[in-house]
Amino acid sequence: MSRNLRGLSSRRGLTDGLYESIAGASGNGHQSPDEKLKSVAEEFMTGHAAVLSTSSFYDFLQPAHAGKKVFMCDGTACLTSGKTEEVRSRLLETYRSEEIGVMTCLGHCHSNNAFLVNGEIRLCDSDASPSEIRVTSNAEMPAMLTPTGDVKNYYSLAFRWAGETEAALRELEVSGLRGRGGAGFPYHIKVRSSRDARADRKYIVCNGDEGDPGAFSDKWLLEERPHAVLFGMLMTGIITGADTGVVYIRGEYPLAVKKVREAVARIEEAGIAAGREGDAVTRFRFHVVEGSGAYICGEETSLLNSLEGLRPEVRTRPPFPAVYGLFGRPTVLSNVETFANIHYILEEGGAVWAAMGTEKSPGTKLVSLDGAFNRPGLLEVKMGTPMRTVIDELGGGMRYPVKAFQVGGPLGGLVPASRIDDLTLDFESFAREGFLLGHAGIVSVPEDFPVIELLEHLFEFTKKESCGKCFPCRIGSARGLDLLAGAVSGGQKIDRQLFDDLLDTMQIGSLCALGGGLPLPVKNALQYFSDELKDYFTGKEA
């Protein structure tokens, strides 16, 4: 069925496509949203149930969302900071309770007091600017924090490599660039697989829907360095033979959507890429797509389904997107930070970039520090840097006592403060010690914040954001939340063996990293905070 719907959607492609028609079906004059969806179904010659199924998936398209006037953040960093109730109290001075909604992470983990109103991010502290993020680097030649100069000069590098695409691909291979979205897959393998695949059309897709609470590096890049991201996409398109690039940006980042659209307009006006009617040196067209509120769209196959106007559930793999991606065509899909490194690699050389890191984790990594740090903000850090250096020297240490750090988002490992000296900032160190580097966003857990409440929050997050396709994630997250909520508020002790079995089932049986990744921080908590958690469990020791 999905392939049939994909075929119907591909006839219109990305210009006035099915997804954006569904997202725009919010009522028009005397036409209700449901009537508009019926019109969309007729226009695309598909069933009303299919478009209704897609529309009902997204938070922003729910009827309840339309009744809200302001949205506060319910991400992990804001929860552990203790500022959530303070923000709500401030908003209640202006808005009624029923007018206040929530969004999962607004990307202001460094301030912990942001809210969204009228499509703009604002802060409860009126003296602070929403765009102010402290940025610094310990790399001799920062790859991503360097400002972009004149647009034509910046993109001229792509044309210098246009006749030497194999050499450009070799530089990417020499650099050892690995995906910065969390999985760390070698980027050159994706590019080569897509380049070698036979197809009448190929795509480049930038995953700007990475919504891990605690990570705001993608948001900063899209707002402050959009041309670094767009260059990486364009260059990848030149290497693979793709003629279309899509930047899919989460709707919680309205300024990022605006900035990237402005950047695309600039390069179209400069003749660097094709506009709707224009000619260009390279036949490459960008599309900027705004998400509608679904964390799971940060998973690559769910994102592809979303772009196609399908219900954004996770696909089974293989086939992988590099061979069978958007509209069934070969697609290089990677995250914002990955694309942002490509200009530096091709300008300075893959070997230079690789030398800033370790043998297996080359280059630099952006690290997001939450509001618990004395110097919160964004760092560009050489891979292999001791975590103690990241926290105490670059981050300035902590503003209050912290007992643990969740690194890599809600599915990242829970690292006790006592284990920081055992870690360096790279994929291998974190994996070896039983943690996960992931997106490298750091959320601090204060000494007085109950670990049991953090676990309840993580299961609640997974239950809310699960696409529902596989039983282990959909049912497991709900069952885990019931057990933990009963323990927190009802004094009902959890059978430890039952809980362990639940975690193993989710880890082994889930289709993607949402259900499959949740057990990692939970198991870390059970291992390192057993004394704090033992009163909530029976049977096997916590």
440 in any annotated domain? yes
Q: C-alpha 452: how far from its chain's center?
A: 26
- Rounded distance between C-alpha atoms, residue 124 and residue 291, angstroms: 25
CATH number, domain of 460, equals 1.20.1440.230
Half-sphere exposure of 505 (CA within 13 A, CB side): 16
- Quick check: 541 pLDDT over 60? no
- pLDDT tens sequence across 31-64: 678 889 999 999 888 889 989 999 999 999 998 8
Q: How many folded domains does the chain comprise?
A: 5
- In the structure encoding, which two tokens stand for residue 184, read together? 């760390």
Tell me, yes or no, whether 114 and 86 share the same domain.
Answer: yes
Domain boundary among 401, 422, 444: 444
Tell me, yes or no, whether 409 and 508 share the same domain.
Answer: no
What confidence score (pLDDT) does residue 9 get? 75
Q: What are the DSSP E strand ranges found in 393-469?
A: 402-407, 414-416, 441-446
* Max Cα distance, the chain (Å): 70
- Quick check: 444 pLDDT over 90? yes
Omega before 319 within 30 of 0, i.e. cis: yes
Tell me, yes or no, whether 81 and 155 share the same domain.
Answer: no
Phi, psi of 103 (to 5 degrees): -130, 145
Q: What are the DSSP E strand ranges found in 324-435?
A: 331-335, 364-369, 377-382, 402-407, 414-416
323 in any annotated domain? yes
> Is the CB of residue 296 less than 8 Å from the CB of residue 517?
no
Tell me, yes or no, whether 381 and 471 share the same domain.
Answer: no
Calculate mean pLDDT across residues 337-356.
Answer: 96
136 in any annotated domain? no
Of 21 and 276, more confident: 21
Tell me, yes or no, whether 87 and 213 share the same domain.
Answer: no
Question: Of 142-146, 170-174, 502-506, which gets the smallest average pLDDT?
Answer: 142-146
Give 508: exposed, middle or buried? Use CB within 10 Å, 0-12, 13-18, 19+: exposed
Tell me, yes or no, whether 265 and 173 share the same domain.
Answer: yes
CATH number, domain of 421, equals 3.10.20.600
The neighbour count for residue 169, using CB atoms within 10 Å, is 18
Confidence of residue 280 (pLDDT cuts 50, 70, 90): very low
* DSSP conformation letters of 197-239: S--S--EEEEEE----TT--HHHHHHHH-HHHHHHHHHHHHHH
Which residue segment(s) compose the domain that 22 sits in?
A: 2-56
What confidence score (pLDDT) does residue 138 get? 78
Calculate mean pLDDT across residues 316-334.
Answer: 95
Half-sphere exposure of 520 (CA within 13 A, CB side): 23
Residue labelled with tokens 């299919």: 50
Tell me, yes or no, whether 171 and 270 share the same domain.
Answer: yes
Tell me, yes or no, whether 324 and 381 share the same domain.
Answer: no
- Quick check: 277 pLDDT over 60? no
490 in any annotated domain? yes
Confidence of residue 122 (pLDDT cuts 50, 70, 90): confident
What confidence score (pLDDT) does residue 13 get? 78
- In the structure encoding, which two tokens stand for residue 461, read together? 């997050």
471 in any annotated domain? yes
End-to-end CA distance of the chain: 45
What confidence score (pLDDT) does residue 334 get? 97
- Rounded distance between C-alpha atoms, residue 538 and residue 493, angstroms: 6
Domain boundary among 411, 444, 477: 444
Tell me, yes or no, whether 34 and 70 share the same domain.
Answer: no
CA distances from 477 to 463, 483, 529 (A): 5, 10, 21
Tell me, yes or no, whether 206 and 287 share the same domain.
Answer: yes
106 in any annotated domain? yes
- In the structure encoding, which two tokens stand for residue 443, read together? 């959320």
135 in any annotated domain? no
Domain boundary among 21, 37, 56: 56
Tell me, yes or no, whether 85 and 182 share the same domain.
Answer: no
Give 361: exposed, middle or buried? Use CB within 10 Å, 0-12, 13-18, 19+: buried
151 in any annotated domain? yes
The neighbour count for residue 490, using CB atoms within 10 Å, is 8
Confidence of residue 279 (pLDDT cuts 50, 70, 90): very low
- Quick check: 2 pLDDT over 70? no
Cα–Cα nearest to 473, from 525, 435, 501, 508:
508
Cα–Cα nearest to 313, from 39, 47, 50:
50
- Quick check: 130 pLDDT over 90? no
Question: Of 115-129, 462-476, 487-501, which gets the smallest average pLDDT?
Answer: 115-129
* CB burial readout 218-240, b (16+ within 10 A) else e: bbbbbbbbbbbbbbbbbbbbbbb
Helices (H), ranges, 105-176? 151-161, 165-175
The neighbour count for residue 323, using CB atoms within 10 Å, is 17
Calculate mean pLDDT across residues 211-233.
Answer: 94
Tell me, yes or no, whether 75 and 223 share the same domain.
Answer: no
